[in-house]
Structure 1
Amino acid sequence: MDFNQGWKSKFPINTVFKPPLLASDPSSSKSQLGPLIFNAKPDSQTELLSSPSLVSPPVLPPLPQLSLSRFLSTSSPVTPSASYKIEALFGPEQTDAASGFAHNRLQFLCCPDTGKVIVFFPTGANSDQIGFLILSVGDGMFNVKIGEDGDVFRSKKRFYQPIVRIVVNSIPDSGNCMSSSVGYLLAYTMYSVHWFVVRSGGNSGIPVLVFLGSKVFKTCSIVHACWCPELPELSVVLLESGNIFLFDLEGILHEVGLEHNLKGTRLRVLWNYTSGSKSPKWLGCEFSWHPKMLIVARSDAVFLVDFRSEQCIVSCIANIEMSGSYSSTEKDRFVAFSRAGSDGFHFALASNKLLLLCDMRKPLNPVLQWSHGLHRPCCINVFELSKLRSNSKQDTYEHASKLGFCILLGSLWNCEWSLFCYGPPLPDARGSFPSKASGICDSFYAWGLPSELSLSGHECGSGSCLFKEECLKKSSPQWVDWRRKRELVLGFGILGSDLSSPASDDDEYGGFTLIRLMSSGKLEYQRYSASWDVTRSCQKDVGLSLVDNGLCSVVEDDYKFPKRFKYLKLDNLYSFLNGNLASALEAKIKKTSSCPKEKESFDPTCHVALCKMLKASGFQLGSPSTLAFDDIHSPTTIGEIILRKKCAGLPMELLLLAFSSYSEFLEVLLDQKKVPLEFLVVPETVQLQPFVLRESSLRSNKWSNKVHRSDALVGPVLPVPFLSTLHQVRDGSSEASVGLSSEAELSLQFGEVMQVATKMAMSDSGPEVHDEHAISLADDREETWTASQPEKPFFLNHIGSFKPYAHPVCSHMVSKVVDSKAISSKNNDATGLEIFNNICPIRMTFHSSQQDFGSKELAIYNILKGQYLKRQESFDPYQDFLSRCKLQN
């Protein structure tokens, strides 16, 4: 009994017993289809190039494999309850490491009639430039052409953002590659797209990337961009919001050399399809059989967009529910999408469980289905079988190779790839294949079961090697993903008959050459041959150890020494976080009191300079209670006020521990060598710490005759909480024995400063501080806004954008308010820095030697002031801020 094609396609391959669309008869497959398994040949693995320019910067964020709360509780003294609170502040975790490997980093562009292939890839310190090299074959070997400086070729254009993907499009019948354009290239970052035309470069034979233009999307990120196969100058860009922009380069090709800001044409598409999927994500788009028809994929559905008329017609041609009972549609979603074949009718879809081959002419009815068994695949490529079985020594399976296709599905991050072969039905009794153009064949069959494909060529299929590899994975720390320690394939390309790749004598059924880019910065090629069986022999030359690779660190190839890690002893910080810094210091003082003392290295000149600086800043040493808000000359946080208050209560001998000169420092012994320390220079302008603006010290790795020791003050070399606790321990203060945690002590100090701020400053009506030790100002606001109260010289503001990621000491800021009476009493003849007092309600103090401005400067100031005030009047949030805070501008 036979059934129709739609009924047969409901049974996925690898899921049911004897699926009706599987051509897997051993006796017939070997005689009609040919070998469909491809094994890497270890003896053909060759390194083409190793360069730091091929090493990508770390594409992975330094996130642990564990959840944030679990990582904090297992690697630090944070309690489980506190770790959950910290995790809640940061919101949902972004731990999808596979997202950094969603795209192939290599793109190939063939030069016709030259036997050369241009390989493009991202390069640069931030992957913000396009790099390329030229591959050719000579004397049966691959040749790599790079620049005369020994580095890869680079585009002059930099994007200053990491390149997400590079897409090329060849120009058909372009003529001689040496004197004409070869193709087009676009590279897109997260928010911008850049277009180029690729030219050979004339007699030099070095391709030239000519920049055509760019487009920046400021409000939405880019999901995908592609070229039109029929019209090479046409491309589309899909945004995360679902908007589609069409770009036609034909109008600017005659103006090559000028940088254009392309606007594109936004397609008026209305997405009226809804499903049960929560927050569906867009995957990509491809051109269909017509240049004005697009296939757009989403995580829950696929749409056909027809914009041949003025109004775009959108129809759903696939959805996640059409998989039926073989996939849980509630949790499953589409994760990868690609155009299949050159006709523009077929496309391949991959979900978390199934691989589907669909036809736009048969909506909601997949042509073929496989159960792929891969973990979170994200990359999908479709090849003609003739490309994978090129250079075959016999033509027995030539017809099958011309009619068959292969879908390569997997993940660069998980190192798992499978090959799915399909094609028209088996030959009839006469032994002839049905032609695709004859109309007899309107369906496809799966040609055999899926097979594994090793892109890296390093995997060994023997049981002993697989067992050793699993043991090595488990030996890594729980919070370290083992894939970070492994050399991964970042990009690849397959060469068939488009380049006369070196063939081996035992490639009886043909094969292909794989060019791959490794995370260590190596460009390799390896030969793959078609075979009837999977090779399971153990490869002894393949190392199974997991070592640091290019994702973790970049080292030169000639670095032959073992890596060693240096550990810092942070016992004081550990005690401070646990709230027992005082007890730890007492134990250290008792231990060191019996040890012989080293010669004191304090410099008297440094002592005098430090005293002058502190006195000029308004410090009254030993009197923390006398510290007022009068020293606030710019917006200052509560945390900065607390630090100043602590510094004012420290004796001079302790401050000498925090500020010193390089001549007083003893070199630190590290690896049996003395290494000098480095600190930031104390600014020359009179100000209290913390010092916001200052320069780094002028020194090299080691002092030399050219770089002498600086006499400038540097510091602080010890943090203020450490000095304050040391002062309490030395004086036998009762505060040291209380043993409050750092968080509780900081909250108490915050409450003390806020009490003073209540009397000295007026407050806005922003959000309250939710802290158990904080002092609420709700009871004092009525008094603050009373008209009978005198004008307060300061203003207390709560920065809501900092919440909930910062402590209240950082999100509350005190600013000095401009005295309105003093401004009104001055005439308009002021020519000094005081002219800036009447353009902003917050007073700013300038450290400048500028006394008076000339007539030209004042004229420019009046023009800019008018524009600035006009901007303030039209900016509603600013006017609301003035009204809420009772401030006048």
Structure 2
Amino acid sequence: MELSEEWKAYFPIGKSLDPPLLSSSSTKLGPLFFIPKPQTLPKPLFSSPLLPPLLPPPPRLSFSHFLSTSSVPYSTSCSIASRFAPTSSHHHDLPSLLSHNRLHLLHSLRHNISLVFFTTGSNHDRIGFFALHVQDRDFKFLGDRNGDVFVSTNHFNHKILSILVNPVDDFDGVSDDSVVGYLMASTLYAVHWYSVRFFTSSKTPALEYVGCKLFKSSSIVSACFSPHIPEESMVLLENGALFLFDLASYVNSQKPNGYLKGSRFRAFLDDSSGSGNYKWLCIEFSWHPRVLVVARSDAVFLLDIRHDESNVICLAKIDMLSPYDVVDEDQFLAFSRAGNDGFQFVLACRSLLLLCDVRKPMMPLLHWAHDLDNPCFIDVIRLSELRSQSRDDRYQWATESGFCVILGSFWNCEFRLFCYGPSSSNEGSTAMEISKFCKPFLAWDLPSDFLLSNQECRCGSCLVREEFSKGALPEWIDWQQKKDIVLGFGILSRDLSELVHESDEFGGFTLIRLMSSGKIEAQRYCASWDLVQSFDAAHRETLFNFEDSLLYSLGDDEYEFPKRFKYLNLEYLRGYLNENLANVLDSKMKKSHKGPLQKDSFSLDFHEILCEKLTICGFGRFRSSPALSIVFNDISLPTSICEVASRQMWATLPLEILLLAFSSYPELLDVPFDDKTIPLEFSVVPDLPQLPPFFLRKPSCRSTRWSQKVQLDDSLVGPVLPLPILLTLHEFRNGCPDPEEICEFSSDAELGLRCNEVMQVATEMAVSDSILLKNDQTVSLADDRDEMWVDSQRTKPFLLYHPVGGESSSIDQLQGNHIYKDEKFTAMITKVRKETDPNNTTDTVGLELFDDLCPIELKFDIPVMNFGPHELEAFKTLKRQFNKWQERFKPYQELCMQNNNDFQKMA
């Protein structure tokens, strides 16, 4: 289909054939590809393992991946692997840690040096720097007396996320220690400022701390220096607030290391201009010191703060890209100022790169399709900086008037160069029409790859080999771990570069880069007509011929222990998760009956010991009390409804099933074990009367592994089988005639029914929190033949409440606005202590002293203890302090107010 010139101008450059805003007149533009200069090697400047930021170690083989690959063919482990979460958010978090340029250059024309700044230290909470000067037509490293880099004296105890530098214009007649620039280092919640000085007499740079600003309400999103006033800077917070700082009064202050005070501009935009699902991105100064451009993920705004009431103009919206956008739910990712006049800015989203002008809102001047994966770095540089020292002056006009946008990602190691500039008189009809009412810009040729490392080649064979090498790595290894990638770079000043390098045919530049291997090196680049050059060294280099990069923190020592995998049979777990545990047990029991009958593994002595223990706990064969009464009598600590229901289910199990749930280590030794089997660890059943699963008991002192030093004993251990298994076996024991009904049995459903029963009974026999009294149906304990619990004249012996720690207000509690909605876990019940006789004036000198501290019945698992006069005096002091705390503790007072008079008397 034939399209007009004007219509094709709306399509991104790179997505349409022969767009009218694309100039490919190479006869006037010159070469626009930049490659490492052939036959040259990078110049090493400094190397240290502390230079690259240590990222979190890559995750080892995840549990879900181990399950899915532990057996072939498909097995139970494969089927439940999907139930576990993926490895981690490791792959999603790391790109954000490398979103900023980690190396910055500050050039001083008067001293003819360049200062190189970067972060360093074990936690990268300090600023490292050195000077780069020229001696004998070669770059020379200028550091401290020990040959190391200079390091800032103070460290922040927080990782530095970004650094910025701002040069100060050199003037004649300045002193020896005058300020040559400023540096700003940003952490997550603080900004620190430095002044940069260079002493000519000693030829040493210095970094002097000016002050800092700590933000407690919100994290820092972006910061920038003013190109108009070097001492001014602006900070943008995550909540949209802006702060303007002026360093002029702090640089020569007699009280360094102070806190800077800035002018605050509150959040200047509401959600009326966006969708609400946005985040603040960046801030830059525009053409005036009080005119700013603020970028958000969905829009860009021009903010005029010259007057008391700020004026806001929307310059761009993500919605305006919909006619030619190629990504759904796109958002802006990178933003930067373009040019020196402050009118233009560049903006990148997931698919497009835009050149905009503040004088033409909602009308981008140029837009490219960049084909980069989540670019986070963007910068604009004049073409004259990249094509300096040119012997051929045929392209002088293009060199002086052109601009280059560098867009890419340090994590993906992909950068592209987008060249643009003014149009000439013969650029086409559309350009001529545009030139009538504004100064037009045209894209100069198609975007090109910008190679930051000389170890890359863009020929087809190398690209294919690189992609295959990445795919061959295991999924838990990032290819960045195997390749020496660029973490930061800067373009060296042409004044310093021309003292070392001779002029090139079409010009070039010197790149200073920071590698993930800890090296800082200089590499010469030259302009070329062709991006792909025949580099024998690049073709010989494979992608992963480096040692493991220092980018990752892999620990100081190697793993010294043998790596052995233990395989677990998770078939029962799978059946429980899929709610078909009965099917699994049924199939297992049918298979076991086909083989020879095994002998009974329970000895008579063990049977007697087990019966005696269970009888003490109320598990006798002929129980005189109902199971629910036993369970409530066993409550001694605050217990959830689910725990009470679980104990009731244990109490209803017959003795024949309980014999399967408990054992002793001598009995466990009869079970056939492999030599490589993990030792079985179980806890000893306590001697005090308790109900399973015996909360707050001591762990076992041994396992199935024993030696001559640790002798066997007859301690009762368990439960050795979980409750869902026992409930399902109990259902089989009942002899349901229909096998399908047995397979439909669910232990979780049974637990839910028991929880409802316990909850209904608890609401009648306990002093209740008002938010728990939602069910009109209650079950009377008269059915349980325990009339002393339902006597209305007696004080109720239990307290039913909802923990309110961390809740916002009592209104939320009354409305049931809790984090967890399931009452069987959030509703707690505990036993209330018995009221003492007020006429009893006997002084208590034992543990009963603590009964007055709270309405809950306290039990101590220690021998009888009596206190003397000194202990009693200390107890009275502590009790007074505790009573004062109870009076000030709002949730406790609200709980007392919500309950009836009976509880208030007890409290």
Q: Please give the residue correspondences for 1:765-780 in structure 2 after superposition, counting only pairs within 5 Å.
A: 765-766=770-771, 777-780=775-778
| 8 Å Cα contact 1:509-1:529 kept in structure 2 | yes
Partner of 2:463: 466
| 8 Å Cα contact 1:757-1:796 kept in structure 2 | no
The one-letter code of the counterpart of 1:493 is F
Q: What is the alpha-carbon distance in structure 2 between the residues aligned to residue 251 and residue 689 of structure 1? A: 72
Give 3-state SS (helix, strand or coil) of 1:317's partner. Answer: strand
Root-mean-square deviation over aligned CA pairs: 6.7
| Cα drift, residue 206 of structure 1 | 8.2
Partner of 1:120: 118
Q: What is the alpha-carbon distance in structure 2 between the residues aligned to residue 716 and residue 312 of structure 1? A: 77
Partner of 1:600: none
| 8 Å Cα contact 1:424-1:445 kept in structure 2 | yes
Per-residue Cα deviation, 1:136-157 (whole angstroms, up to 9, x for no partner): 4688467596997999958754
Partner of 1:26: 26
Partner of 2:487: 491
Partner of 1:534: 531
| Cα drift, residue 337 of structure 1 | 1.2
| Cα drift, residue 214 of structure 1 | 3.6
Give 3-state SS (helix, strand or coil) of 1:540's partner. Answer: helix
Give 3-state SS (helix, strand or coil) of 1:628's partner. Answer: helix
Give 3-state SS (helix, strand or coil) of 1:168's partner. Answer: strand
Q: What is the alpha-carbon distance in structure 1 between the residues aligned to residue 465 and residue 883 of structure 2? A: 72
Deviates more, 1:272-281 or 1:142-151: 142-151
Q: What is the alpha-carbon distance in structure 1 between the residues aligned to residue 547 and residue 566 of structure 2? A: 18
| Cα drift, residue 424 of structure 1 | 3.6
Q: Please give the residue correspondences for 1:835-854 in structure 2 after superposition, counting only pairs within 5 Å.
A: none
| Cα drift, residue 409 of structure 1 | 1.5
Partner of 2:430: none
Deviates more, 1:170-179 or 1:419-428: 170-179
The one-letter code of the counterpart of 1:197 is Y
- Given the superposition, is the C-alpha separation of residues 398 and 564 from structure 1 closer, same or farther in structure 2, using an over 3 Å criterion? farther
Partner of 1:636: 639
Q: Please give the residue correspondences for 1:593-612 in structure 2 after superposition, counting only pairs within 5 Å.
A: none
Q: Please give the residue correspondences for 1:579-618 in structure 2 after superposition, counting only pairs within 5 Å.
A: 580=581, 582=585
| 8 Å Cα contact 1:287-1:293 kept in structure 2 | yes
- Given the superposition, is the C-alpha separation of residues 861 and 788 from structure 1 closer, same or farther in structure 2, using an over 3 Å criterion? closer
| Cα drift, residue 348 of structure 1 | 1.0
Larger Rg: 2
| Cα drift, residue 451 of structure 1 | 0.8
Q: What is the alpha-carbon distance in structure 1 between the residues aligned to residue 790 and residue 178 of structure 2? A: 78
| 8 Å Cα contact 1:685-1:847 kept in structure 2 | no
Q: Percent identity?
A: 30
- Given the superposition, is the C-alpha separation of residues 723 and 765 from structure 1 closer, same or farther in structure 2, using an over 3 Å criterion? closer
| 8 Å Cα contact 1:640-1:689 kept in structure 2 | no
- Given the superposition, is the C-alpha separation of residues 862 and 404 from structure 1 closer, same or farther in structure 2, using an over 3 Å criterion? farther
Partner of 2:825: 811
| Cα drift, residue 245 of structure 1 | 3.0
Q: Please point out which of 347, 357, 360 is paired with 1:359.
A: 357
| Cα drift, residue 267 of structure 1 | 1.1
Partner of 2:811: none
Q: What is the alpha-carbon distance in structure 2 between the residues aligned to residue 827 and residue 40 of structure 1? A: 99
Q: What is the alpha-carbon distance in structure 2 between the residues aligned to residue 826 and residue 146 of structure 1? A: 82
Give 3-state SS (helix, strand or coil) of 2:375's partner. Answer: coil
Q: Are residues 1:110 and 2:109 paired?
A: no
Q: Please point out which of 327, 334, 347 is paired with 1:336.
A: 334
Q: Please give the residue correspondences for 1:403-802 in structure 2 after superposition, counting only pairs within 5 Å.
A: 403-426=401-424, 442-455=439-452, 459-471=456-468, 487=483, 489=485, 491-497=487-493, 500=497, 509-518=507-516, 526-535=523-532, 537=534, 539-544=538-543, 554-555=553-554, 566=565, 568-569=567-568, 571=570, 573-574=573-574, 577-578=577-578, 580=581, 582=585, 628-630=631-633, 632-638=635-641, 721-722=721-722, 725=725, 743-744=748-749, 747=752, 750-751=755-756, 754=759, 757-758=762-763, 761-766=766-771, 777-780=775-778, 790-797=795-802
The one-letter code of the counterpart of 1:416 is E
| 8 Å Cα contact 2:224-2:284 kept in structure 1 | yes
Unaligned runs of 5+ in 1: 67-72, 430-438, 597-603, 661-665, 700-707, 769-775
| 8 Å Cα contact 1:268-1:312 kept in structure 2 | no
- Given the superposition, is the C-alpha separation of residues 36 and 513 from structure 1 closer, same or farther in structure 2, using an over 3 Å criterion? same
| Cα drift, residue 489 of structure 1 | 4.5
Give the TM-score taking structure 2 as reference length.
0.68
Q: What is the alpha-carbon distance in structure 1 between the residues aligned to residue 554 and residue 226 of structure 2? A: 41
- Given the superposition, is the C-alpha separation of residues 445 and 709 from structure 1 closer, same or farther in structure 2, using an over 3 Å criterion? farther
Q: Are residues 1:77 and 2:74 paired?
A: no
| 8 Å Cα contact 1:105-1:490 kept in structure 2 | no
Q: Are residues 1:369 and 2:367 paired?
A: yes
- Given the superposition, is the C-alpha separation of residues 377 and 810 from structure 1 closer, same or farther in structure 2, using an over 3 Å criterion? farther
| 8 Å Cα contact 1:667-1:676 kept in structure 2 | no
Q: What is the alpha-carbon distance in structure 1 between the residues aligned to residue 254 and residue 710 of structure 2? A: 54
The one-letter code of the counterpart of 1:779 is Q
- Given the superposition, is the C-alpha separation of residues 813 and 285 from structure 1 closer, same or farther in structure 2, using an over 3 Å criterion? same
Q: Are residues 1:298 and 2:300 paired?
A: no
Partner of 1:869: 887
Per-residue Cα deviation, 1:436-474 (whole angstroms, up to 9, x for no partner): xxx999443323221122345555423334344555666
Q: What is the alpha-carbon distance in structure 2 between the residues aligned to residue 335 and residue 834 of structure 1? A: 66
| 8 Å Cα contact 2:279-2:297 kept in structure 1 | yes
- Given the superposition, is the C-alpha separation of residues 225 and 844 from structure 1 closer, same or farther in structure 2, using an over 3 Å criterion? farther
Q: What is the alpha-carbon distance in structure 2 between the residues aligned to residue 237 and residue 205 of structure 1? A: 31
| Cα drift, residue 408 of structure 1 | 1.2
| 8 Å Cα contact 1:132-1:154 kept in structure 2 | yes
The one-letter code of the counterpart of 1:132 is G
Partner of 2:192: 195
Per-residue Cα deviation, 1:781-834 (whole angstroms, up to 9, x for no partner): 999999878424232437898999979488324243655955988999999998
- Given the superposition, is the C-alpha separation of residues 156 and 496 from structure 1 closer, same or farther in structure 2, using an over 3 Å criterion? closer
| 8 Å Cα contact 1:60-1:551 kept in structure 2 | no
* Number of aligned positions between the proteins: 820
| Cα drift, residue 295 of structure 1 | 0.9
The one-letter code of the counterpart of 1:110 is L
Per-residue Cα deviation, 1:104-127 (whole angstroms, up to 9, x for no partner): 151425374373534323765xx5
| Cα drift, residue 407 of structure 1 | 0.9
Q: What is the alpha-carbon distance in structure 1 between the residues aligned to residue 390 and residue 727 of structure 2? A: 84
Q: Please point out which of 202, 227, 230 is paired with 1:229.
A: 227
- Given the superposition, is the C-alpha separation of residues 7 and 815 from structure 1 closer, same or farther in structure 2, using an over 3 Å criterion? same
| 8 Å Cα contact 2:143-2:149 kept in structure 1 | no
- Given the superposition, is the C-alpha separation of residues 253 and 334 from structure 1 closer, same or farther in structure 2, using an over 3 Å criterion? same
The one-letter code of the counterpart of 1:454 is L
| 8 Å Cα contact 2:663-2:720 kept in structure 1 | no
| 8 Å Cα contact 2:765-2:796 kept in structure 1 | no
- Given the superposition, is the C-alpha separation of residues 728 and 23 from structure 1 closer, same or farther in structure 2, using an over 3 Å criterion? closer
Deviates more, 1:417-426 or 1:493-502: 493-502
Per-residue Cα deviation, 1:215-247 (whole angstroms, up to 9, x for no partner): 2333x4443233333444433332333222334
Partner of 1:347: 345
Give 3-state SS (helix, strand or coil) of 2:293's partner. Answer: strand
Give the TM-score taking structure 1 as reference length.
0.69
